[in-house]
Structure 1
Amino acid sequence: MRICVFSGSSFGRSETYRNAAVSLGRTISRKGLGLVYGGASVGLMGAVADAALNEGGEVIGVLPRKLANQEVGHRGLTRLHLVDSIHERKAMMADLSDGFAVLPGGIGTLEEAFEVWTWSQLGFHSKSVGLLNVDGFFDGLNGFLDSLVTEHFLKSVHREILLCESSPEMLIDKLTTTRVPVAPKWIGMPEAR
């Protein structure tokens, strides 16, 4: 089983984010899981990969050639796939993974997380997606997402697909054991249980 990690290509302003990335990478490897990620050597991406590698884990990177040419590609991975586009990168990362963990990051990280969550909602896969809520980083986002349910733009059954934990161990345990619910997306249609 492999866990895909979406994360920032920078470290953020707090050392807590780097520490969380290291802890997540270690946890994935210590639980005998493989890591799939964006293939870079920089920021939280590099930290999570290095931590997993230091524990002897399998680490697979998927990186667009354009970024590899800018010398951000990690050179010590188990395997590094070079692809032609961001779209190809995301598709390959999803295909290689059994679940998705999201560390703090910017708009690219959020976009990746929302895309795989949408795929779960639409039934294109049944893989778990979870946020690692480092020092409350995702609290504001979670509040906003809850308001989507209140305003009937998101079903509660689909809101529950996006897990959230503050501990890497708890997040990985949930990602590897949670069954993703199947229900029609559209508001007003009967819930499937």
Structure 2
Amino acid sequence: MEEKFELETNTVWSFPNRGKWATHDAKYRGNFSPYVAKNIILRYSKSNDIVLDQFIGGGTTLIECKLNNRNAIGIDINPSAVEITKSKLDFNCEFNNDIKVELGNACDLKNIQNESVDLICTHPPYADIIKYSEDIDEDLSHLKYKDFLVAIEKVASECYRVLKKDKFCAIVMGDTRKNGMV
């Protein structure tokens, strides 16, 4: 059962808890609250729009797309994240949208056409703060900060290429902390 939800109306979002409706949970380390994804999706897209998340992780964005009548493309470089997301999407709901989950690299969205996406809602790793894989060289969570900035610029370029004109891109990132420094 879904928790009580109200669309945020200001720029500071605060939620009483993490959110545990549908198949959401906090098991995938570093995933973000479904309240954040839901607010972004409802505010910046419409029913049947195409939403892209190229760092699917635990599937938060795609679950919210399924629940809120959005089509979605979910990509991750980690096969484990792809499988976790596929399993979390295995539930019934009132909508029957097209939700695609693929193994791929956010720096090269070769399977997505130019200007074909209505909203990007994604939550990339924060450089090498949390490692999401053991042996995937292209995984951004393995990159030191300066190399991460180069890679995230490629991600931004791909976002610009696939996003339709006058549409929205929401990249959720927090501060990076290492050795007590922000």
TM-score bracket, shorter-length normalisation = 0.3 to 0.5
Report the TM-score when normalising by structure 1. Answer: 0.40
Report the TM-score when normalising by structure 2. Answer: 0.41
